[in-house]
Structure 1
Amino acid sequence: MRKKLTIAAIALLAAGIGGGYALSNVSSGKPYNSILQDDPKPLVRTSYSGGSTAAQPVDFEKAAGTAVPSVVHIRTVVKFKQTQSRGGMNPFGMDDELFERFFGGGRSFQRPDQKASGSGVIISEDGYIVTNNHVVDGATDINVTLNDRKNYKAKIVGTDPNTDLALIKIDGKDLPVMPLGNSDEVRLGQWVLAIGYPLNLDVTVTQGIISAKSRNIGINRQGSAPVEAFLQTDAAVNPGSSGGALVNTNGELVGINAAIASPTGSYAGYAYSIPSNLMKKVVGDIMKYGSVQRGYLGISMAPENLDEAQRKELGITGNADGVWVADTDPTGAAAAAGIRKGDAITKVDDVNVASSAKLAELIAMKKPGDKVDLTLVRDGHERNVSVTLKGKLGAMSGQQAAAVEALGADFSALSRADAAKLRISGGLQVTNIREDGVIGNQTNMRPGFVITKIGGIPVRSIDELKAALAKQDGNFQIEGTYPGSGSIYYYGINDLN
């Protein structure tokens, strides 16, 4: 019987140790941040470091004691709006006509708030916390409880549904930061600990081994271009563990717990974590730019274990150990580099690629404009090509113009004199906003607003606006100011495409 896999299973819905790792960046005076700064050596050093799996410890006390203070309990509330019974859903699921016969027409009702519980990991001394997108998605109220029982209100900084990651922030200082490990160095059979707040219990530590890498289980349907390259472990993970830590025996974060494979919704042997290296790239982008800067190769990948008819249709004649290209986007990066249907990609920057999940993970670590060296097999012959990745919107002038048009506004470059008055280096002033555009539908921006940045990228002309839009991954922030306000304003844009 096939097991049912679900992300939602470990974001727990509700019906109604001393120590820690907190270092300061002494040279800059800024709070230590494990994502944006080079990580110092971990507090715990075991015989496993740099050694073989046979040298791994059987006592996890030091690793657990170091990591536990950095894992937090997250509780969320999603408030439902008051609605009318006529013409819509009523709270009992009854037919509206029957409902009105019993209770009268046009009555309003209030659905109960939905509460949920998850986990998170502290990644900076000043309160940045990484968790799963599905833990905080739609939340109107987010409460964070630290291991020392202190409670904080949190706000969402940014999310990436494609990797099921989210960054939230609390107002704290000198918080215990979990050091990052290198998930690329994780090996099969390596001991790991899963730390979180399952089933609304207090912090819980379980142990297991890495049983698979780069696992794609096809359960992330939150984004338009999901990336799944999970670390698989048999450490027990249950509802409420979402967003918690997968930790190696040095007390380093190697993964963010995200899903379980289970026919019942509770732990049944397999758990899946987002690799820390992928998390670092995604969260780092959110911190720097306000959204994820993701490069796209522009191919569709053939299913693994192709039968003879499928191989013939794709024009595959060899037996290369790689990822076969089923098709290419004619305006994408791969097509521009000469990659075509029937090619097999075997390496990315000299890293072997044997599965579509691994290829997706490696490309997801890059941003638009990055160059990657691919090794291909075509007609039994190996060749190397250099590919410059593009953004989701591509880099063709027609697509860039279409992206600007989709915003639904007219723009005028700010003169030097006007820029000087606003004490900015330059920008684009919004002279008109159309009701059918993205800005008009998704924001309350008013004409006169001066755009200074798109997704963290400065813009001072239409060409710079086009270039900045081409680097966005669907969701981003528009930053700017209103003349005379003296304040910075942010407008979020979702799914420009």
Structure 2
Amino acid sequence: MTASTNSLVTKVKKFGMPIGAAAAVLLGGAFLVGHTAHAAATLSGGLPMDDNSVSSLVALDNAVEAVAARVTPAVVNVAVTAKLTGQDAESEDDGQDSGGQIPQGAIPPEFRRFFGPMGRGQNPQAQIEHGIGSGIIISPDGYIVTNNHVVDGATQVRVTLNDRRVFNAKVVGVDKLNDLAVIKINANNLTTVAWGDSTKLHPGQTVLAFGSPFGYFQFSVTRGIVSALDRPNPYSDDARKPGDFIQTDAAINPGNSGGPLVNARGELVGINTFIITNNGAFAGAGFAIPSQIVRATAEAIIKDGAVHHGYLGISMNDVTPDNSNFFNLPDATGAIVSNVTPDSPASRAGLKSGDVLRELNGSKIRNGSQLQVAVSQTAPGNEIKLGILRDGKPETLTLKVGEYKGEKQVAENDGEGSQQHGKLGLSLGDLTPDMRQQLNIPSNVQGAAVASVRPASPAEDAGLTPGDVIQEVNRKSVKNAQEFANDVHAVPAGKDILLLVWSHGGASYRVVHPAQSNQNGE
């Protein structure tokens, strides 16, 4: 467990009017309008509004109060004591980014500074940390769902109920892939919350978020709406983790991790797990794991003590308007296979790079994230049918799903003498044995290695970085830097170029827009 169990946070750049300033303007405008209306009513002899005049608002208040009263007794505060690992302790001591990959289910070191004093303390000599999170009771006999990053590495877990009773809890099992955990207290006749169906949510629906913001304000409730659905995994350096998050503007802050998100009926539709912010506090964008995933995970942990995730062995890109033309697709839905792991379920079934995944068991595939979630929840050993388009022709493949066993497995979904810088802004070189060893490039990866990327170039806009390997140009494989240059120069001026890029252990398709290059012809 790392330095904070409170929330997973992604930092975003500020742009336009600051959020606080915008809020002040809006509130100020509302005050002026309301004040003017009140003055006009007073001058015209109007009387104060009675309950009948505001019956809709009163009814809304009554409904929200009823839901809060129903759910709050099932919400718990989770206090954790944990021992820091050597790497975690070092990161805490120097306050710097460790530069490594995101630990499983943990908070990225570069974001730990957002949480320092909020609900967490540390004994630097004993290397002990204390954290606060939230949870929700799902059975009368004491099973509780929370986030894995809340209890990861815990040596002691204590649960405080709404009636102020405190219990020691044990960790029954965790699902690091989905950042979920089930803990258990020895108690009976507890108030629970009913499961809701997250697949029936729609943007604009009212939702309530419960938890312990900042670790101090236990059993708080906030109200908002479903802002969006099927949000992708925000971790750009770990595409293996499924997305499908619920986005909400119901206020979620550090300490709310593991708390419930409920619908207007008081049914559990999500587990609050991270926020996107520029200052560490809520900025209008909170995210929850949908109950579709939470329920299946919790039931598997309670039954078996573990979760067995399905695995295909592919990397994917979403189909977009930019790349759909290169695959002769009728619309911008589905997922494009960008890499197939050797000796994986996908390779044994005959899937190839460039195949477009359109259907799963007869149902349309919207995007790669949807497929990731579906595969992850499929029991290993079961068969699935994938409807694909290969070179524009439909085919159906039957695959036996494998089991996810480590960080290098599960389907990935990446969303979106050297040759000198050209119209793409790239400098490339041939793959040499030394370069393969230095960059840890497998022997089966062929192509041209990116030596440098010109700032503000089309290549940089497409996300290319030094050390990447370009394997294809417009669906045609390249073996070296010269072949790459020849293929790029053969593309008519102003035409987009589709590249297959191997990067950090996975491959993905990138669309590059040469028209964005500088006027000097580079």
- The answer to whether the superposition gives a TM-score over 0.5 is yes
Moved >4 Å (runs of 4+)? 6-9, 88-93, 303-308
Query: Closer, same or farther in 2 for the Cα pair 1:75/1:377, shift >3 Å?
Result: same
Show the counterpart of 2:353.
341
Query: Closer, same or farther in 2 for the Cα pair 1:132/1:89, shift >3 Å?
Result: closer
Show the counterpart of 1:21.
none
List per-residue Cα deviations over 1:130-177 (Å, max 9, x = no partner): 100110111111110011111001111111111000111111111111
Show the counterpart of 2:74.
70
Query: Closer, same or farther in 2 for the Cα pair 1:192/1:168, shift >3 Å?
Result: same
Local SS of the residue matching 1:140:
strand
Superposition deviation, residue 305 in structure 1: 4.2
Superposition deviation, residue 80 in structure 1: 5.5
1:203 aligns with 2:203: no
List per-residue Cα deviations over 1:282-333 (Å, max 9, x = no partner): 222222222111111221102554856x986xxx343542111112223222
Show the counterpart of 1:318.
329
Local SS of the residue matching 2:135:
strand
List per-residue Cα deviations over 1:185-236 (Å, max 9, x = no partner): 1112211111111122021111111121121142397x89422221111111
1:10 aligns with 2:7: yes
Match for residue 229 of structure 2 among 169, 191, 213? 213
Show the counterpart of 1:427.
none
List per-residue Cα deviations over 1:241-281 (Å, max 9, x = no partner): 00000101111101000000101111001110001111112
- Aligned AA for 2:7? I
Query: Closer, same or farther in 2 for the Cα pair 1:91/1:111, shift >3 Å?
Result: farther
Q: Which runs of 5+ in 1 are unaligned?
A: 1-5, 13-55, 83-87, 94-108, 395-497
Cα pair 1:126 1:171 within 8 Å, conserved: yes
Match for residue 340 of structure 2 among 293, 311, 328? 328
Local SS of the residue matching 2:247:
strand
Q: Which runs of 5+ in 2 are unaligned?
A: 10-58, 95-123, 407-522
Cα pair 1:11 1:135 within 8 Å, conserved: no
Cα pair 1:7 1:219 within 8 Å, conserved: no
Match for residue 404 of structure 2 among 392, 413, 433? 392
Cα pair 1:164 1:220 within 8 Å, conserved: no
Alignment of 1:6-155 (within 5 A): 10=7, 59-79=63-83, 110-111=125-126, 113-155=128-170
- Aligned AA for 1:136? V
Q: In the aligned structure 1, how far is the partner of 2:190 from the partner of 2:182? A: 16
Show the counterpart of 2:434.
none
Cα pair 1:299 1:329 within 8 Å, conserved: yes
Cα pair 1:376 1:384 within 8 Å, conserved: yes
Query: Closer, same or farther in 2 for the Cα pair 1:350/1:269, shift >3 Å?
Result: farther
Query: Closer, same or farther in 2 for the Cα pair 1:383/1:123, shift >3 Å?
Result: same
Q: In the aligned structure 2, how far is the partner of 1:359 from the partner of 1:117? A: 34
- Aligned AA for 2:389? V
Q: In the aligned structure 2, how far is the partner of 1:76 from the partner of 1:158? A: 16
Cα pair 1:196 1:205 within 8 Å, conserved: yes
Q: In the aligned structure 2, how far is the partner of 1:110 from the partner of 1:206? A: 38
- Aligned AA for 2:72? V
Show the counterpart of 2:251.
236
Q: TM-score, normalised by structure 1?
A: 0.59
Local SS of the residue matching 1:302:
strand
Show the counterpart of 1:52.
none
Q: In the aligned structure 2, how far is the partner of 1:269 from the partner of 1:216? A: 17
Q: In the aligned structure 2, how far is the partner of 1:161 from the partner of 1:141? A: 19
Cα pair 2:5 2:255 within 8 Å, conserved: no
Cα pair 1:80 1:110 within 8 Å, conserved: no
Cα pair 1:196 1:241 within 8 Å, conserved: yes
- The alignment-based identity, stated in percent, is 37
Q: In the aligned structure 2, how far is the partner of 1:181 from the partner of 1:89? A: 42
1:357 aligns with 2:369: yes
Show the counterpart of 2:171.
156
- Aligned AA for 1:128? Y
Superposition deviation, residue 379 in structure 1: 2.7
Match for residue 294 of structure 2 among 266, 272, 279? 279
**What is the alpha-carbon root mean square deviation over aligned residues?**
3.3
Q: In the aligned structure 2, how far is the partner of 1:251 from the partner of 1:373? A: 37
- Aligned AA for 1:67? V
List per-residue Cα deviations over 1:382-441 (Å, max 9, x = no partner): 3333322111369xxxxxxxxxxxxxxxxxxxxxxxxxxxxxxxxxxxxxxxxxxxxxxx
Cα pair 2:5 2:151 within 8 Å, conserved: no
Superposition deviation, residue 334 in structure 1: 2.3
Show the counterpart of 2:20.
none
Q: In the aligned structure 2, how far is the partner of 1:214 from the partner of 1:91? A: 34
CA radius of gyration, larger in: 2
What is the aligned residue count?
324
Show the counterpart of 2:313.
298
Local SS of the residue matching 2:270:
strand
Show the counterpart of 1:467.
none
Query: Closer, same or farther in 2 for the Cα pair 1:349/1:8, shift >3 Å?
Result: farther
